[in-house]
């Protein structure tokens, strides 16, 4: 029996998407032979599934992509909350995705993505499609897996940024505030902060008190340390903002003309301490380029495990890493949940033990 599978990548891109796609594809060709399986690449995430924008893949398409950043299929953000909303184009998106699945005669759909992607995967699984998810994101915030592919490469890049900022911070005796991606969860800032030797780490899970951050900078100055490095997550907010509802906080930010807290933190620190302060925002550079060795290995483990799920006809699952072992979770158990940094996470405790301030 010849199988036919579809693969899509959805949400923000990250290093390791192609390595994971390659893992799925190569494992399938090994198992069924190149005549025993047909692979369909779906363009631009769920948008391609809605609009039946697909391409037939050949085994050679999956060669030479292990080290490539981005995604060979393209990706798009198609918010989960809009999936069940019929917009101006009058398209019933869920029906359209099911129709494409049928038209393409797919036996299974592999979805590579983050939290939003997994929610839609779960919806499609509940609608009767055979779906297998793979956990992607530099944010590392997918519930039920200790790690996602893309995370460690981003940690490496952010660490390199912090390393490089040390020289300017030191030469000029400045405070360098580096804003690191991570809107909801602070994993990337926490890990890169520890790896890069940041003096302060500010994450959404631990709302900051600006006075405490100023104190931490002054304490270092008094101890003869000419500079400080502060790693601030994109989604960080202060103790006052923590009391507000999400919408109220967003409104306040719009009124203040700010998207993130980093510039405000830097300006207040400079005004209150008199120490020259600068902000650096590496932004999407954290998602760019070739995956690290760790992520290539993880992508291969995840991709081939996902293929195994197909072989066993175990659908409605997403692969995961739990206690160092590659395993899987039911999509319905993890969809819609976010993995946040716990205040007592071992990495937070280790950081505190070496004197890193969280501004709390």
Long-range contacts (CB closer than 8 Å, 24 or more residues apart) made by 30-37? 31/307, 31/311, 32/2, 32/3, 34/59, 35/2, 36/2, 36/3, 37/2, 37/3, 37/4, 37/5
Tell me if residue 344 falls in helix, strand or coil: coil
Please work out the total of residues on this chain that contact ligand F6P, with binding judged by CB under 6 A. 11
Residue 45 lies near ligand F6P (rule: CB under 6 A): no
CB atoms within 10 A of CB 36: 12
Q: Shortest approach of ligand F6P to residue 144 CB, angstroms?
A: 17
**Rule CB under 6 A: is residue 138 a binding residue for ligand F6P?**
yes
**Catalytic entry in 35, 92, 99, 139:** 139
The minimum distance between CB 57 and ligand F6P, in angstroms, equals 26
Site for ligand F6P in 70-109 (CB under 6 A): 77
- Least distance in angstroms from the C-beta of 201 to ligand F6P: 16
Asked whether the beta carbons of 169 and 197 are under 8 A apart, the reply is no
User: Could you give the 3-state DSSP secondary structure of residue 264?
Assistant: helix
Q: Please identify, using beta-carbon distances, which residue of 114 and 135 lies nearer to ligand F6P.
A: 114
Is 107 among the catalytic positions?
no
The span from the CA of 167 to the CA of 83, in Å, is 47
Q: 38, 47, 341: which is closest to 190 by C-alpha?
A: 341
Q: Which of 137, 153, 273, 292 binds ligand F6P (CB under 6 A)?
A: 137
Residues 353, 355, 359, 360: what is their CA dihedral angle, to the nearest 10 degrees?
40
Q: How far is the CB of 262 from ligand F6P (least distance, A)?
A: 13
Judged by CB under 6 A, the chain residues 177 through 236 that form the site for ligand F6P are 181-183, 234
Partnered with residue 25 across adjacent β-strands are none
Which of residues 148 and 277 has its CB atom nearest to ligand F6P in the complex? 148
Residues that bind ligand F6P (CB under 6 A): 12, 77, 114, 137-139, 181-183, 234, 287
**Positions marked active-site:** 139
């Amino acid at each position: 029996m010849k199988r036919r599978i579809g693969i899509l990548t959805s949400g923000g891109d990250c290093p390791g998407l192609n390595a994971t796609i390659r893992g799925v594809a190569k494992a399938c060709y090994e198992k069924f032979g190149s005549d025993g399986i047909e692979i369909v690449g779906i363009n631009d995430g769920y948008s391609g599934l809605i609009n039946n924008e697909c391409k037939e893949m050949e085994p050679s398409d999956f060669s030479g992509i292990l080290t490539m950043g981005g995604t060979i299929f393209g990706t798009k953000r198609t918010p989960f909350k809009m999936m069940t909303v019929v917009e101006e184009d009058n398209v019933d998106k869920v029906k359209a995705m099911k129709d494409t699945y049928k038209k393409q005669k797919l036996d299974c759909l592999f979805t590579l993505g983050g939290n939003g992607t997994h929610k839609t995967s779960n919806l499609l699984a509940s609608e009767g499609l055979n779906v297998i998810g793979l956990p992607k994101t530099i944010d590392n915030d997918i519930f039920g897996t200790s790690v996602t592919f893309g995370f460690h490469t981003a940690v490496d890049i952010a660490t390199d940024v912090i390393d490089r900022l040390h020289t300017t911070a030191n030469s000029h005796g400045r405070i360098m505030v580096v804003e690191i991606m991570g809107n909801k969860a602070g994993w990337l800032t926490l890990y890169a902060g520890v790896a890069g030797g940041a003096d302060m780490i500010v994450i959404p899970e631990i709302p900051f008190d600006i006075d405490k951050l100023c104190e931490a900078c002054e304490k270092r100055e008094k101890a003869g340390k000419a500079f400080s490095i502060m790693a601030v997550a994109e989604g960080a907010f202060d103790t006052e903002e923590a009391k507000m509802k999400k919408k109220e906080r967003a409104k306040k930010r719009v009124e203040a003309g700010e998207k993130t807290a980093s510039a405000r933190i830097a300006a207040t620190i400079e005004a209150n301490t008199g120490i020259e302060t600068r902000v650096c925002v590496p932004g999407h550079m954290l998602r760019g380029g070739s995956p690290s060795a760790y992520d290539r290995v993880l992508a291969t483990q995840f991709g081939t495990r996902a293929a195994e799920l197909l072989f066993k006809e175990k659908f409605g699952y997403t692969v995961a890493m739990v206690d160092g072992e590659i395993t899987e979770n039911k999509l319905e158990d993890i969809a819609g949940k976010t993995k946040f940094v716990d205040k007592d996470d071992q990495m937070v405790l280790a950081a505190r033990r070496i004197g890193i301030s969280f501004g709390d």
